[in-house]
Chain A
Amino acid sequence: MPGPKTEEVSLPAGHKGGCIVMKLSWKIFFITTPLFVLFLTLFGTWIVQKSFQSNLTREIESCLMENEMFQTSYELTLNGMSSGQRKKTSVRAVVEPFHQAMDSTLGCARIYDDARKVLYQDNELTVSHRIWEELEKAASVQAVGENSEDARSDQSAGERSGNGKTEDAPSVQSTGEDGGADGVLPQSVGHAQQTSDASAGTYNVGRQIVRQDGEYYVAVLARSSSGVWFETLHNVSSVFEDRDDIYSSYQVGMLLVAFFSGLFTLLALLLVMRNTQKLSSATRRFAMGRYDTRVSIRSDDEIGRLADDFNWMANVMNRQMEQLQDDVRRQEEFTSAFAHELKTPLTSIIGYAETMRSMDLTKEESDMCADYIYRQGKRLQSLSYKLLEMAMADQYQMIYRNVPVKELFDEAAKTMEMAFREKHLVLLVEQDDGYILGDRVLLSSLLFNLLDNARKASSDGGRIWLTGRAMAGGGYSITVEDEGKGIPPEELNRITEAFYMVDKSRSRKEGGAGLGLALCKKILELHEGSWQMVSEPGKGMRVVVLLGAPAANGNARRRPRRARRRQGTGGGGTMDDPVREERTPRSTME
C-alpha cells in the first residue's frame, strides 16, 4: 500500500519569494516616517512661530512705548513753553533737545501735522504704510455708529503685518517736502486735541510691520493731544532673522532625528520580522513534510508566544501523526497477513482440485490431493471462525457472573483431553477454590486458547500446568505453564499481534492461524484483566493471567455492551480441530 497521500496544496501567493518580510517592514517604515516628519514639522513650526510671535509682540510694545515717550516728551517740552515761544520755535527745535537725549536706538522719528505734512524728521528713511487709512477707516466705522474697538484696528494692522502681503510691496514714498521738516508748529493744537479726544478717542494710535529693502520695520503712528502725528520706525529685522535661523537649524535637527528614528524603527522591524520569517519558513518546511521542524525564538513577546504555539502545535500534530501512521501500519500488516493467511489455503485447495479434475492420477496421488484439500479447508475454517470470534468479541454482550474456578478448569481439561492425548501431554491442574467475575463463555475461550498454545509449543510427552490462585485482594490468577520450546524475549511483545507466528511452519502443522493470543488479549481487555508472559527459549513459557475480584453479592450483573450477544459466538476457537468440535461451549450459556 502506498503511504498516506499528501495532498498537493500550493503555497499561498506571495510566499514564494520570501519577500513578504521586507514588504511589511517597509510598509510600516514608509507609513510611520512621513507621519513622524509631518508631526515634527507641525509641532516645530508651531513652537517657533509662537516664540517669534511673542518676541515680535514685545518689540511692538516697546515701539509703542517709544512712540508714547516721544510724544510725551514733545508734549512736555511744548507745555513748558509760552504761546509766544511756541510761535517762534520750529518743531525741530522743540524735538531735537530731548530727541537727542533719548535713546539713540530710536530708528527714525517723524512728526506730521493733520495734513500729513512732515513737520520734523530725523532721518531720511521713509517706509510706506497704511496706518493713516486704517485709522480713518476705524474712525469712519465709529462715525456711522458701529461699535468697534481699538483692538480691531490694532488687530487688522497686526494681521496685515503678519500675513506680510502689504510688506511685500514697499515703495519709498517721497514726500518731496523736505523743507517742510522745518515747518511751523500748527496753531490749532488745542482745538485739534479737543476734536481728537472727541472723535477718535483711542483711535489715534496705529502700527504696522513693514518690509522694505529686506528689512523689517515696526511703524507706529500716533496722534498726540497737541494735534500732530508722531511716526516712529523701528528696525525689527533681527526678530525675523532669529526666526529664520531657528527654523533652518530646527529643520536640520528634525531631519537628523527623523533619519535616525526611521533607521531605528526599520531595524527594530527587521528584527521582529526576522522572527516571523523564521516562523514562516518553519511553517513551510513543516507543510512540506519535515515534521521534526521546530522554531527557536527566545522572546516573551507575541512573536515568541506564536513560536511557542507553533512548536506546541507541531508536537501535538507529530504525536497524532505517529499514532495514525502506527494505526495504518498495523492495519496494513493485518491486511497483508490476512491476505497471506487467506490466499495460501485457497491456492492449495484450488490447485489440488484442479490437478485432480484435469489429470489422470494414481490412487495414491489423488489421496494425497484430497488430504491436502481437506486440511487446507480445515485451515480456512479455523481462520474464519477465529476471525468471526474476534469480530464478535467486539460487539459481544457479556454476561457477568461469578464463575466457579473449579468448573471452569474441569471443563477446559475435559475439552483439551483428546488433543493432549494425541501428543501424550500431561496436564496438571491445581486450583484454589474461588470465583472469577466474568463472562463464562469468554473465560472458557481464554483458557482454551492458552492451553492450546501450550499444546502447540510442547513436544511429545511434555507437561503442562494449569494453576489457579486466589489473590489476597480478591482477584484471581490463572497460570498456564509448559515445557515447550518457548519464545525469544524480543518476540514476546509481538505474539499478541494478529497472525504473528514465531515459528510459522510448526504453528501451521499444529493448525494455528496466529490469532489465539490476539483473541486472548481482547478477552482480557473486556474483563479489564492483565497478563504477564515469561519465557526462556527451549525451556518453556509461563503465562499468568490476573482477573478481577468477584462481585460481593454473587448476583448476575450485566454490563452494557455495544450489541446483543449472538447465538454461538462464544465457541472459543472450538472448530480448530476435529477433536475439539466435540466440545460444546454453548452448554455453558444460559
Chain B
Amino acid sequence: MIKILIVEDEEAIANLIRMNLVKSGYQCEIASDGEEAADAIAERPFDLILLDIMLPKLNGYEVLEYAKTVDVPVIFLTAMGETDQKVKGLKLGAEDYIAKPFEIAELLARVETVLRRYHKTERRIRILDIEIDTDSRTVTQNGREVDLTIKEFDLLLLFVRNKNRALYRETIYENVWGGEYSGTGRTVDLHVQRLKKKLGLEEHITAIYKVGYRFAV
C-alpha cells in the first residue's frame, strides 16, 4: 500500500488531505512541524511527501533537502502562490506544487501523476471486468480491446480514480478538458454517454440530478 506523509501545521488542512487520500486508498501519516517530518522521514519509508512551506521549527525547504537524501518525491503545498516560491521549490527538487486553496480532485490527480512517474502505482488498473493500461493507454474488457478516444480514456481514468465519489460536471470538465467550465455545454454529458455505452457501464455510472456523475463499484 502506498504511504504518504503529510507535513502541514494547519490541523484542518492536514486532516482534510488525509481524509481524502485515505478514501482514495492511500495510507497517510501527518507531521505538524519540520522536525517531526524529518524524524518520520528518517524512521519510516514513504512513497510521497506533501510538504507545506511555512512550517514551525524547520521550514519546508529544509525538510525538502532532507527528503532528497532518501529519494522520496515531494509535492509542495504553498499558500503563497507566488512564482518565485514555486520556482524555488521546483529548483530544489520538488516534483510538483499545489497552491492553496486547492480542489480535492486536483490534489488527487497530482498525487497520482507523481506516483505514476515514480512507478509507485500499478501500471495496470483492474476494475470490474475492465483492465486499463495507463502506459499504453489501452482498455480491454473481457480480453477484448475497446477503442476509446483520448477524452473518453481520460474520463474513464477520472471515474476510476474517484470511484464512489460524486464528480461535478465542472470538476470533470476542468480535469479532462482543462480550462473554465461554462456550465451550459453538453460536452461532458455526451462523452459520459458514449463511455457508458462502449463499456456497458450503464449501471455503474449514474447521473446525480443537477450535480454530475458518480462511478459506483
Q: Let me know if A372 and B12 touch, CB within 8 A.
A: yes
Q: Let me know if B9 and A365 touch, CB within 8 A.
A: no
CB-CB under 8 A from B32, the residues of chain A are 505
What is the minimal beta-carbon distance from B89 to any residue of chain A, in angstroms?
15
Whether A351 touches B101, Cβ cut-off 8 Å, given contacts A359-B166, A508-B10, is yes
Q: Let me know if A343 and B101 touch, CB within 8 A.
A: yes
Q: Let me know if B104 and A354 touch, CB within 8 A.
A: yes
Q: Let me know if A340 and B103 touch, CB within 8 A.
A: no
For chain B, which range describes its interface: under 10, 10 to 19, 20 to 34, or 35 or more residues? 20 to 34
Q: Let me know if A376 and B101 touch, CB within 8 A.
A: no
A300-334 at interface with B (beta carbon < 8 Å): none
B82 contacts chain A at the CB level, 8 A cutoff = yes
B177 contacts chain A at the CB level, 8 A cutoff = no
Q: Let me know if B166 and A343 touch, CB within 8 A.
A: no
Whether A355 touches B16, Cβ cut-off 8 Å, given contacts A1-B84, A339-B80, A344-B10, is yes
B44-85 at interface with A (beta carbon < 8 Å): 54, 56, 79-82, 84
For chain A, which range describes its interface: under 10, 10 to 19, 20 to 34, or 35 or more residues? 20 to 34
CB-CB under 8 A from A174, the residues of chain B are none
What is the minimal beta-carbon distance from A500 to any residue of chain B, in angstroms?
13
CB-CB under 8 A from B82, the residues of chain A are 1, 336
Whole-angstrom CA separation of A368 from B15 in the bound complex: 10
CB-CB under 8 A from A376, the residues of chain B are 12
What is the minimal beta-carbon distance from B110 to any residue of chain A, in angstroms?
14
Contact with B along A343-374 (1 / 0, CB 8 A): 11111101110110111100001001100100
Whole-angstrom CA separation of A346 from B15 in the bound complex: 14
Q: Let me know if A351 and B166 touch, CB within 8 A.
A: no
CB-CB under 8 A from B167, the residues of chain A are 358
CB-CB under 8 A from A343, the residues of chain B are 79, 81, 100-101
Whole-angstrom CA separation of A374 from B95 in the bound complex: 33
A504 contacts chain B at the CB level, 8 A cutoff = yes
Q: Let me know if A504 and B80 touch, CB within 8 A.
A: no
Contact with A along B87-103 (1 / 0, CB 8 A): 00000000000001111
A1-35 at interface with B (beta carbon < 8 Å): 1-2
Q: Let me know if A339 and B81 touch, CB within 8 A.
A: yes
Whole-angstrom CA separation of A578 from B171 in the bound complex: 35
B150-168 at interface with A (beta carbon < 8 Å): 164-168
Whole-angstrom CA separation of A354 from B211 in the bound complex: 12
A160 contacts chain B at the CB level, 8 A cutoff = no
Whole-angstrom CA separation of A376 from B16 in the bound complex: 12
What is the minimal beta-carbon distance from B193 to any residue of chain A, in angstroms?
21
Q: Let me know if A359 and B84 touch, CB within 8 A.
A: no
Q: Let me know if B16 and A340 touch, CB within 8 A.
A: no
> Chain B: which residue is nearest A360 at the CB level?
B164
What is the minimal beta-carbon distance from B192 to any residue of chain A, in angstroms?
16
B19 contacts chain A at the CB level, 8 A cutoff = yes
Known: A339-B80, A345-B12, A351-B103. 15 other contacts (CB 8 A): A1-B82, A339-B81, A344-B10, A344-B13, A344-B79, A347-B79, A351-B13, A351-B20, A351-B101, A354-B105, A358-B171, A359-B23, A359-B165, A369-B19, A508-B11
A residues with a Cβ closer than 8 A to B are: 1-2, 336, 339-340, 343-348, 350-352, 354-355, 357-360, 365, 368-369, 372, 375-376, 504-505, 508
B residues with a Cβ closer than 8 A to A are: 9-13, 15-17, 19-20, 23, 32, 54, 56, 79-82, 84, 100-105, 164-168, 171, 211
Interchain Cβ contacts under 8 Å between A and B, 30 examples: A1-B84, A336-B80, A339-B81, A340-B79, A344-B10, A344-B12, A345-B12, A347-B16, A347-B100, A347-B101, A348-B12, A348-B16, A350-B101, A350-B103, A351-B13, A351-B20, A351-B101, A352-B12, A352-B16, A354-B103, A354-B105, A355-B20, A355-B104, A358-B167, A368-B15, A372-B15, A376-B12, A505-B9, A505-B56, A508-B10
